[in-house]
A and B are shown apart, each in its own frame.
Chain A
């Protein structure tokens, strides 16, 4: 579904991504991990074209991301994305956050969007908060709304860019639970995260990045149980002991 081939990106002379190649199949859950600054957030943002890349190619269901002929808005509407800082729209209510793109991008009627929005709020356990504004919700609640907002577009895949990094520890699980349920429903997911417990439970594959390169790209079993490169082992030993 997502094909990333020999992708490189640099800011001036600084190489953020070097020759990255990987793929995500339909229904697959792929966790991307690695130390900060390793380029994992940049990689996931290139998938829906929020970050341009200079070399290589990325295709989503055969459509090339960032090509002149590609309608990027249309393509993005088919890929959900959840951000580290939630990025709910602070000036409109929770339900309007979920309705906005349904109405303006997909052309759904107000009633339809409202119905779908309430369904999804129900699913993430927040239907009682529909009329509130983002600032009135906790971080964990905001992130669940952000997930619902992405799902409301009925995306073919979901991208998660460190969805729990900005959360207080006690709120991490409520978000991971929603993501786990989503994975169990068969959603195609690419998840940048440090939550190795989530990776162990849910991921099909794990990608380990360091210094802009994909160092490991293997099944979860291989990644956690078997021999790995020195950097990946070091990284794991650092975050798993906590």
Chain B
């Protein structure tokens, strides 16, 4: 059976696959950026002494972490255009879903990171006359993020894999493009083998990167 495999289908459609991978990576990158920014804000709220803020942020995190990602993607696919009042395109509604969902996870990572910074460091910043914001910006968050780099990258790898779920709303990412090619060319096994191989290699590279970063940035 193996000698019947014909991988020329990959080369013939390479630019389509490349475009699909481009979308997958672009979505991953934007979702990581947005997720970390929103997640940091959530984490600061969760750690706030203002009860209402920490309650709202905590509820948000717990709620989204109890939801399957695929459901969030589906919801926002229908909800975002309704809220905004006009169609925004599949890509943006999916991006919003990922940012909102990932922020809940990043929040918990960042919260742990902030708590990993010794109390004495905060005292030292305060004693020098730094405000809460300055202390966070120059002392706490830089150290927190250094401590968190390995787990942030791990989360990014998971996110990269999770982007395949945009399949449910038909966004042309790597997997969806591949699936279409597989159907049209009737080469399911070759295409899906190739897709699996690419995901595997990229995640493996990511994992190796985690180890490198861990050594480089360890304080």
Which residue numbers of A lie inside 8 Å of B, CB to CB?
Answer: 45, 48, 50, 73-81, 83, 85, 87-91, 100-101, 104-106, 135, 149-150, 153
Contacts and interface: CB of A to CB of B under 8 A. Distances in A.
| Chain B binding surface, main DSSP class | helix
Contacts of B121: 87, 89
B219 to A, nearest CB: 5
A105 B128 contact: yes
Interface stretch (B12-20, B70-78, B137-145): B137-145
27 contacts: A48-B127, A50-B127, A73-B130, A73-B131, A75-B129, A76-B126, A76-B127, A77-B128, A77-B129, A80-B127, A81-B127, A83-B124, A83-B127, A85-B120, A87-B123, A87-B124, A90-B219, A91-B143, A91-B146, A91-B219, A100-B128, A100-B138, A101-B129, A106-B129, A135-B219, A149-B128, A150-B128
Contacts of A81: 123-124, 127
B8 interface: no
Nearest to A100: B138
A77 B125 CA distance: 10
Interface centre among B125, B129, B131, B142, by most chain A C-beta atoms within 10 angstroms, is B129
Nearest to A45: B123
Contacts of B126: 50, 73, 76
B62 interface: no
Nearest to B135: A73
Which of under 10, 10 to 19, 20 to 34, or 35 or more describes the interface residues of B?
Answer: 10 to 19
A89 B139 contact: yes
Contacts of A79: 127
B129 A74 contact: yes
A102 to B, nearest CB: 9
A118 B128 CA distance: 18
B134 interface: yes
Interface of B: 118, 120-121, 123-131, 134, 138-139, 142-143, 146, 219
Contacts of A91: 142-143, 146, 219
B129 A73 contact: yes
Contacts of B131: 73
Contacts of B118: 87
Nearest to B124: A87
A14 B129 CA distance: 30
Given A91-B146, A100-B138, A105-B134, A76 B123 contact: no
B128 A101 contact: yes
A74 B134 CA distance: 13
A230 to B, nearest CB: 34
A101 B139 CA distance: 11
A45 B122 CA distance: 13
Contact of B129 (A76, A85, A88, A89): A76
Contacts of B129: 73-78, 101, 105-106, 153
A87 B120 contact: yes
A88 B219 CA distance: 12
B120 A83 contact: yes
A109 B146 CA distance: 28
Give the one of A74, A79, A104 with max B CB within 10 A.
Answer: A104
Nearest to B123: A50
A76 B134 CA distance: 14
